Amino acid sequence: MKLFVVLLLLGMFSLSVAEVVDSFKKDCPQFFFKNNNRVITPTVFTNNKYKQICQFYEGEYWFATLYDTKFKIPVYSAYTYSFIKSRDIKDDYWKIEPQLEEKRTNNNKEMKQLKPEEEEVLRFQAQNKDYKDSGYTKGHVFPKSYGQSDQQKESTFTLTNAAPKTQENNTAWGEQVEIPMLNEIKGNCDQNVFVYIVTGVVPGDNTWLPIKRGGKTIKQGVNIPRYFWAAYSCKSKNNNNIESNAYIADQSTALPPENLTVDRLNIRLTKLYNVKQFSVFG
C-alpha cells in the first residue's frame, strides 16, 4: 500500500515535469521542424532548472528558447527563416522574461525592459549589469541579423537569448557562421516554405561571470559557454529532400568553426552535454 502511494507520487511528479517539457509543442510549435506534421523539438533537458520559453513581444511569438535558470544562459533558441528582406535596426534595449521570476499569468507573458534597480532581484536569469565591465558582450543566440521584421529583430534582445562571448568571438561567429550559413540556406532551400534553424551553446566547465544579487557576490553567476553551435534544416529547392548542415565553434581557440552534418553535430552534442542522446531535429 505504502509502495503504491510512493509510486503514485512519483508518477505525479514525472507528469508535472513532462508538462513543462510539452509546452513548446503546445504553445509555440511554429518554430520547430515538422516530420509528417509531427512537431520535433531539439532534445529538451528535463531537470527543473531548464525552462521552455515561447518568446513573446509586442503581442506575438517570435521564437523559442530552452533556458538554464541556474547557469543563466540559454541551451538553445529555435526559430524559422522565410527569406523576407528586412532592414537592419539599431540595437534595441535588453529585456528580461518576467515569468521566470513570477507566477505565470497572461498579463506577464511578454518580455519586459526593467530599470537597473528593478533588475537587482532577478534570481533565475541574467541581468544587464552582470555583463557590464566583464569583458564579455551579450552574444545573441538567435541573431538579430536573421530576424524577419523590426519587431522580431527587437525580440532577439532579451537576456534569455544571450550568452557571454568575447567581442572577438562574436565578430568571428558573425563572419564565419552567421553570414555563410545564411548564404548556404539561400543557395539550398526552397524559398516557399520555412527553414528551421536552431542555435545553441554548451556551457564552459568552470568559467563564470561573477554577479551581484542583494549586495552579495555570487561567483558562479553567469556561465561563459565553451561552444556555440548552429544548425538548419529545410526543404531542398531542387527536389523533395531535406537539406541541412551545422556549425560548431570552440570559444577557447582561434581555430575557425567546424562545418559538419547535423548527424555529426548530434553526436558531438550528445558527448558535450553528457546525455544519452541529443538531437537537434529529431
Which residues are at the interface with ligand NAG (CB under 6 A)? 166, 168-169, 172, 180, 184, 245, 251, 254, 259
Q: In the complex with ligand NAG, which residue's Cβ is closer, 121 or 179?
A: 179
Please list the alpha-helical segments (H only) found in the chain.
Answer: 2-27, 116-119, 128-131, 150-155, 167-173, 179-188, 262-273
Count helices and strands (H / E) in the chain.
Answer: 7, 13
- Residue 222 Cβ, how far from ligand NAG at the closest point, in Å? 16
- Residue identified by cell 553526436 is 267
- Residue 174 Cβ, how far from ligand NAG at the closest point, in Å? 11
Q: How far is CA 222 from the centre of its chain?
A: 15
253 φ, ψ to 5°? -125, 165
How far is the first Cα of the chain from the last one, in angstroms, to the nearest whole number?
40
Q: Which residue is nearest to ligand NAG (CB)?
A: 254
Q: In the complex with ligand NAG, which residue's Cβ is closer, 148 or 166?
A: 166
Contacts of 279 (CB under 8 A, 6+ apart): 42, 43, 266
- Residue 264 Cβ, how far from ligand NAG at the closest point, in Å? 11
Q: In the complex with ligand NAG, which residue's Cβ is closer, 53 or 181?
A: 181
Q: In the complex with ligand NAG, which residue's Cβ is closer, 30 or 134?
A: 134
- Residue 204 Cβ, how far from ligand NAG at the closest point, in Å? 11
- Residue 256 Cβ, how far from ligand NAG at the closest point, in Å? 7
Q: In the complex with ligand NAG, which residue's Cβ is closer, 118 or 168?
A: 168
